Structure 1
Amino acid sequence: MDIRRRLLLLPLALLLSACAGLPAPPRPDRAAIDSFNLEGRLSVRQGERPYHANVSWRHEPARDEILLTGPLGQGIAELTRDARGARLLTAERKEYLAPDWAALAQEVLGLTLPLNELPRWLAGGVEARSRDNYQRPRRALADGWQIDYLDYESDREDALPSLMEMSRDDIGLRLKIDQWQIP
């Protein structure tokens, strides 16, 4: 490459390297996060019965879309929620309808799960019983559920949870969040 081309590329390289070093913009306060996309893995246990799935979730105030897949990517279930209620479509194309997430979980699984409150809990927008060194929630109690925030995506104060456990009676949920996207 001749000297002129190198000189032309130098400002571009400097600009790109400067952008790479900029800190990520701050996120909104946890309690103010009302929309997100996440990718992760979910484990639900009732007594000795475990259920495992990969989860892809798009949450908005008026709508949710959740895709649950198995370890090899095969679809297990599609869940949606909107003004008409909650809907579950299984891999066998069986459909279940209910007024909300909690009623749907009770009807299909026979479990009382905190699905209506889960979006707020996921972002850490809860009244914390204990906090970590960055003042992020470490443990909370809500609606009879113990919520443990075991890890965060980084050491930043505004980092979102990357590993959570929720338990109540003999039900346990563990969620490993691999990727957050806040629109």
Structure 2
Amino acid sequence: MPHPIRVLAALSILFLAACATTRPPVRQPGDAVTLGLQEERERSLADTDHWTLEGRLSVASDKDSGSGSLSWRQDGDRYEFVVRGPVTGRTFRLTGGPAGAELEGLDGGTRRGPDAETLMAQTVGWQIPLAELKRWVLGLRADTGPADIAFGADRLPSRLVQDGWTVDYRQWDTVRQPAMPSRVFAERPPYKVRLSIESWSFGR
């Protein structure tokens, strides 16, 4: 059985920028203005499903923790997450799409599952909503159910609560338009994921 935190680091990509704006400790409930701006933002990014982010990932549970560099490439329905450990240099690679998911870099060889969510559950017992996460990391609400959203003084999302997860947006890159998250903390006890995004690139 592989060490759990190594798999968490490889699979928790679901969830720390040169031009980033420090987030104020403000969480204002959505009103007509901020919710309208968010709806406009979500319309402008609705078809954004070809992108790559580079950064750092830290994951923790009540039993263990770990961190590493992260490359996440989203290509429509297909994805590739690559995590490299800072000390060992060991690389974990999760790839998949509609036909299934594969995780490479574990002791004992490649693991496979029908999708990333099932593969994670089978490997470490986590239930990770990948479809939602690929929207949350863009600062968008997922279309899977109700979401409670709060905003900072800059009228950008500050906290998003959906599907049992609390997603805190600690920094945004406001030079890029539309602004993009650059520091994202996600938590559903006992699991915590911290993502520091150093760069975004869009397109095929």
Q: Residue type matched to 2:165 in 1?
A: W
- TM-score, length-normalised on structure 1? 0.77
- The partner residue of 1:96 within 101, 107, 111 is 111
What's the offset of the Cα at 1:100?
Answer: 1.3
Q: Which moved more, 1:92-101 or 1:127-136?
A: 127-136
- The partner residue of 1:68 within 46, 68, 83 is 83
2:55 is the counterpart of 1:40:
yes
Q: Which moved more, 1:61-70 or 1:83-92?
A: 83-92
* Rounded Cα–Cα distance in structure 1 between residues aligned with 2:135 and 2:154: 19
What's the offset of the Cα at 1:129?
Answer: 1.5
- The partner residue of 1:131 within 138, 151, 157 is 151
Q: Residue type matched to 2:184 in 1?
A: M
What's the offset of the Cα at 1:73?
Answer: 8.0
* Rounded Cα–Cα distance in structure 2 between residues aligned with 1:62 and 1:132: 31
Q: 1:31, 1:120 within 8 Å by CA — same for their partners in 2?
A: no
Tell me what 2:101 maps to.
Answer: 86
- Which ranges of structure 2 fall in alignment gaps of 5 or more residues? 1-42, 142-146
Tell me what 2:12 maps to.
Answer: none
- Which ranges of structure 1 fall in alignment gaps of 5 or more residues? 1-27
What's the offset of the Cα at 1:137?
Answer: 1.2
2:127 is the counterpart of 1:112:
yes
Q: 1:37, 1:58 within 8 Å by CA — same for their partners in 2?
A: yes
Q: RMSD across aligned C-alpha pairs, in angstroms?
A: 2.4
Greater Cα radius of gyration, structure 1 or 2: 1
Distance 1:149 1:43, change over 3 A: same
- The partner residue of 2:44 within 21, 25, 29 is 29
Structure with the larger RCO, 1 or 2 (CA within 8 Å, 6+ apart): 2
Q: Residue type matched to 1:124 in 2?
A: G
Q: For 1:167, what is the secondary structure of its paired residue?
A: strand
Q: Residue type matched to 2:129 in 1?
A: P
Deviations 1:73-105 (A, max 9, x none): 824211101221111011547111111111111
Tell me what 1:159 maps to.
Answer: 179
What's the offset of the Cα at 1:41?
Answer: 0.8
Count residues in correspondence.
158
Tell me what 2:189 maps to.
Answer: 169
Q: Which moved more, 1:90-99 or 1:159-168?
A: 90-99
